[in-house]
Chain A
Amino acid sequence: NAGVMQNPRHLVRRRGQEARLRCSPVKGHSHVYWYRQLPEEGLKFMVYLQKENIIDESGMPKERFSAEFPKEGPSILRIQQVVRGDSAAYFCASSPDVYTEAFFGQGTRLTVV
């Protein structure tokens, strides 16, 4: 059984570029959560998606950040025009329903230079 797969594990982007982070949930899981961990801080919720729908994006920055979870394929977290402050570890988690705890991926560590 494959767990939550995130890629890439490490991503380096220059300021102003776009970052695309991918998350393949556990097979059969239709609920995906994204969290961000800034250096020396805990994880903060960003967005919750079900297939093709954004359910809760209360933790997403208003600009430059977007997320999708298409009918086919992985969930994507996109950050446009990255800035140094976007450097962080981004974690994806998936669950089969709203009443089961989510499983976490290994994270993507984004470094903006």
Chain B
Amino acid sequence: AQSVTQLGSHVSVSEGALVLLRCNYSSSVPPYLFWYVQYPNQGLQLLLKYTSAATLVKGINGFEAEFKKSETSFHLTKPSAHMSDAAEYFCAAASFKAAGNKLTFGGGTRVLVKP
């Protein structure tokens, strides 16, 4: 069974500083990996996804993530935080197969951006 772990339930960064959100997965077969963002009382918006093509994945809003098989990690970064990045971020894994592509989510990391 897959599991996804996000280190740090809350992260506080200054505006303009690096954003680093950590995600590790546990799976015998490297899964497809996703990062989603959720703004208060909103649904999930896909930031980026890894589907076994390039290991460095660029997403929307200046975010990117690097898949590292040796570390079973898929950390999300953004070089310079904006106030609008304040939200909750979820890492998720899926194994696309005939039985469906249900997602296994991490616990989420809430990002606070300080002016």
Contact = CB atoms under 8 A, between A and B. Distances in A.
A45 B95 CA distance: 14
A82 interface: no
Interface stretch (B14-22, B37-45, B54-62, B73-81): B37-45
> How big is the A interface, by class?
20 to 34
What secondary structure prevails in chain B residues at the interface with A?
strand
A41 B100 CA distance: 23
A41 B34 CA distance: 17
A68 B94 CA distance: 23
Contacts of B63: none
A98 B108 CA distance: 25
Contacts of B100: 31, 33, 48, 55-56, 98
Interface in A92-113: 93, 95, 98-102, 104-107, 109
Contact of A43 (B90, B94, B96, B101): B90
Interface string B60-102: 0000000000000000000000000000001010101111111
> How big is the B interface, by class?
20 to 34
B90 A42 contact: yes
Contacts of A98: 96-101
Nearest to B98: A98
A91 interface: yes
Contacts of A45: 102-104
A44 interface: yes
Interface in A28-47: 31, 33, 35, 41-45
Contact of B105 (A43, A99, A100, A105): A43
Contacts of A56: 99-100, 102
Interface of B: 32, 34, 36, 41-46, 49, 90, 92, 94, 96-108
Given A42-B90, A48-B100, A55-B100, 15 more contacts: A31-B100, A35-B103, A43-B44, A43-B105, A48-B102, A56-B99, A56-B102, A91-B43, A98-B98, A98-B100, A99-B96, A101-B34, A104-B44, A106-B42, A107-B43
Interface of A: 31, 33, 35, 41-45, 48, 55-56, 91, 93, 95, 98-102, 104-107, 109
